[in-house]
Structure 1
């Protein structure tokens, strides 16, 4: 099929000839492509490839993450075939992505098929590879439920900052003890003394931080599922005070919308509309 002006040029297999159809450029042909229906006019609307990819990903994630079917089998097959004909890479799922989605579905059903450590490693690998199935960086809202969702990301920078207080104290203490006890015996350059204490500082700060300051800590960041404003979430305890464990409930400071964040998948979702 080709476009000519505002009309479409269609190939007729029976006659072996091209002819101008009575379809405008914006008209959608439901037998040949995936279409949506305009609620006001009831007419078929042609979507862009990007819009079709978004619907395809929404349908997959709704099925695997929420155990909910957005499209029936015929609609999904038509959409997938349409995207394949348009050369979309979204429909090409590799083995690791298929394994990840299957593991998520099993977890949502209450029958986990993969250990937490193995799942986290697989998810991290897919996220680093930029897989669209593991990361939904832009919020997605579902009209039927009113729920908006997005995938947050691990905040490695701030997670490393958690070790700064303990490491600073231990480092200063090491230098003080070094000059107090080692300096009278062997005269060392302060840089060498600092390097010698690095393993002790690293291990000591990790032990103190993980066991006494920030227990079971995990920091994530990303856009609010509702307004896309930047938010950060801290999982774990602080100085013995219990914090969020498996699920964090966050209130966006920008739009005041409350949403939940799953620690194991970093999936953030707003609460169902009343």
Structure 2
């Protein structure tokens, strides 16, 4: 389904950004219907996403419905909300004369940050079970529906809460952003946040592409990757 969703987004972006159709209306409708049957959330656009696509199409046709500032604010808000509609690949801005790419949140990597704390929380849970003479195990083995209620409305929430609390003690204001290098297209990651009271330094990170070595500037506020002044793509 991921490939179908990517085809759907590429078709939308090509039509609204470039004014070109990469598939017929019938092919697009069939693709959209298939994704809807698969339960994909990509085909269900919010009002802001619809407004953004309409503004993009109006701009391409030479009849903008939003100012540059309103358009940029809407795009940034959608980026912050994790919308895939606004994420584009490497390109060059005619206004700023800079090469840049859009950043998106790597939710999988952020979720994996909770794994160590989850292991600790589970260990504490089983240790407490041992101290109480396996009273917790007894509750887990109660006849249904009592076992189900205790497991999913007591044990699991406590473990999740403890894991999140432990993670926040070590890592605060965490944000992991990913995006393609404007020079070679290789995806790179950058971490923003505080680990054990040591901050990464602010809203921008300077890294080098893992593939071509090009210096990159990651900006967590604008959600953009840009090349430093003087760099050539």
Which residue matches 1:36? none
Which residue matches 1:147? 98
Which residue matches 1:188? 139
CA distance in 2, matches of 1:126, 1:99: 23
Conserved 8 A contact 2:188-2:209: yes
Gap change, CA 1:272 and 1:142, over 3 Å in 2: farther
Alignment of 1:208 onto 2:166: yes
Gap change, CA 1:54 and 1:250, over 3 Å in 2: farther
Alignment of 1:165 onto 2:125: no
CA distance in 1, matches of 2:162, 2:197: 19
CA distance in 2, matches of 1:187, 1:147: 64
- Residue from 90, 95, 102 that aligns with 2:70: 102
Q: Return the index of the structure with the highest Cα Rg.
A: 1
CA distance in 2, matches of 1:243, 1:208: 20
Which residue matches 1:45? none
- Per the TM alignment, residue 139 of structure 1 is displaced from its structure 2 partner at its CA by 0.2
Q: How large is the RMSD of aligned CA atoms in angstroms? A: 3.8
Residues matched between the structures, number: 172
Gap change, CA 1:125 and 1:102, over 3 Å in 2: same
Conserved 8 A contact 2:90-2:185: yes
Which residue matches 2:79? 123
Gap change, CA 1:188 and 1:120, over 3 Å in 2: farther
CA distance in 2, matches of 1:159, 1:270: 25
- Per the TM alignment, residue 245 of structure 1 is displaced from its structure 2 partner at its CA by 2.5
- Residue from 77, 87, 100 that aligns with 1:135: 87
- Per the TM alignment, residue 140 of structure 1 is displaced from its structure 2 partner at its CA by 0.7
CA distance in 2, matches of 1:203, 1:99: 44
Which residue matches 2:214? 257
The more displaced of 184-193 and 213-222 is 184-193
- Residue from 178, 186, 189 that aligns with 1:221: 178
Specify which structure has the bigger relative contact order, considering alpha-carbon pairs within 8 angstroms and separated by 6 or more residues: 2
TM-score when normalising by structure 1: 0.52
CA distance in 2, matches of 1:99, 1:229: 32
Conserved 8 A contact 1:145-1:272: no
Structure showing the higher strand proportion among its residues: 1
- Per the TM alignment, residue 145 of structure 1 is displaced from its structure 2 partner at its CA by 7.0
CA distance in 1, matches of 2:160, 2:196: 20
Alignment of 1:197 onto 2:155: yes
- Give unmatched runs, 5+ long, in structure 2: 1-13, 20-53, 60-64
Gap change, CA 1:172 and 1:186, over 3 Å in 2: closer
- Give unmatched runs, 5+ long, in structure 1: 1-49, 56-87, 106-113
Which residue matches 2:3? none
- Per the TM alignment, residue 230 of structure 1 is displaced from its structure 2 partner at its CA by 1.3
Conserved 8 A contact 2:129-2:137: no
- Per the TM alignment, residue 123 of structure 1 is displaced from its structure 2 partner at its CA by 3.5
CA distance in 1, matches of 2:214, 2:99: 11
